[in-house]
Structure formats: structure tokens, C-alpha cells
A = this chain, B = another copy of it.
Amino acid sequence: MTYCIAIHVNEGLAFLSDSRTNAGVDQLSTYSKMFTFGVSGERSIVILTAGNLATTQAVIKTIRKNIADSEQENLLSVGSMDAAAAHVGQLNFEQQSKQVNQAAGSSLDISATFIVGGQIKGSMPELFLVYAEGNFIAATEQTPYQQIGEVKYGKPILDRIITPDTPLRNAALCGLVSMDSTMRSNATVGPPIEILLYQRDSFRLQTRIRYERDDPYFLSLRRAWERELARSFSALPPLVLN
């Protein structure tokens, strides 16, 4: 499994991804699920991936090939983030169709989902969840984040903390807590954790952080959150028994 989060706040976009892939419990590997594309000063686009690794790798490879070949439609030529999401959705659909034929009769799940976020000069930053079917939805003020993969364990903390006014750095921190909760409750999500921050109107993907399992800051964060949760819990009004 996988867990990726992208958060859209007024200050910009925060992207987080784990790096564990597994085909069965005895075939664990580490692959980055975060891919960046851009033209400095003009556009910055980040893609997070979940699902079948063969499908996601084929999609990313085709995105790069289309850019290298200067195809009419590619991530560096599209006029809007909407068109960028549609492009990824189209490639996702094509790759799955191809692999479905090859995998016909097997029970292999070749589906994949993507988060596509970023900003193109002249527009505001945007964030999309691209479904296996190729269609997509945008993050909004009411739902200022998108998740793919193992999304449920880490959702409550996002629902409680994130608003459009949350500072970008805090949004990323909340994403990291959400990631930690997920890793603790589910063995198929694992480090290294990658974080990327995009400041609105910067058109540069500047801050990229990578935490290994034993990173001192990440360990101190885990311990602090554990301690704070226990303290929070002990501060609750005791259960009223009748």
C-alpha cells in the first residue's frame, strides 16, 4: 500500500509521500512516489502516485517522454493545472487499458491513482485527485487536502487541524503527524517520508525534505506527539457514569 497527502492552504501547497511498495508481504521495496516537473519562474507541478507500480511507473515515464519529445500535449505545455490533471488521467487510463489486456484473466489489480498539484503562471495553485478511471476532482476550501492509498487512519487529524489559513509549514507538519499515525497502524506504509513545500507564486519547488526511519527530528516528533496525545487524553472530562 501507499499513503500520500497533498494539502492546499492559502500560503501554498504541501506534498507528502511514503516510500514503501509491496507485492505481497515478502516483497517490500522502497520507491519514491513523488515526482516533480516545472519551468523555473513559470510553472511547478508535483505528482504523487499510488496503486500498481508498473502502471504508475509507465505513466511517469510517458509524461517524461512526452516532455522530451515536445509532444503538443505535455506537462510543460498545458495551459492550466486542470489540463495537467486531465493529461495524467488520460495517460493513466491508457496504461491501465494496455495492461488490462495483458493481464486478462489474472486477478492482478493494475489500477492507479494520482495527486496532481502545482501552479502555472497566471493562475492560482490547484490540487487534483486523479482516479483510476482517469477523471479527477479538485481540493476546495471545504476540503483543502487530497489523499491517496491508505487514507483512513490519518484522516481525523487532517479534518481537525487543516483550514485554508493554516501556515504552510504547519500544514506539512500536520501531514507528517497523519503519516506517522498511518505508519503506526498499518505495516504497508513506511519510510523514507518525503515532504515538498511549494510557496504560492514562487514557481520554484524549493524545499524538499526526506526523513529516514531513524531521522532524529522525525523520532522526536513521534515521541512528542505520543506524549501530547497522552496528555490531551488525560485532560478530557471523565466519563459520566449513571
Contact = CB atoms under 8 A, between A and B. Distances in A.
Interface of A: 152-157, 159-161, 169-170, 172-174, 176-177, 181-182, 184-185, 195, 197, 207, 209, 217, 220-221, 224-226, 228-233, 235-242
Secondary structure at the A interface, as helix, strand, loop or mixed, is helix
Contact of A232 (B152, B170, B232, B239): B232
The complex is assembled from copies of this chain, and their number is 2
A221 to B, nearest CB: 6
A184 B159 contact: yes
Given A159-B185, A230-B161, A236 B221 contact: yes
A231 B230 contact: no
A209 B224 CA distance: 34
Contacts of A239: 169-170, 172-173, 176, 195, 209
B161 A233 contact: yes
Contact of A224 (B181, B228, B235, B242): B235
A169 B242 contact: no
Given A169-B239, A233-B174, A185 B209 contact: no
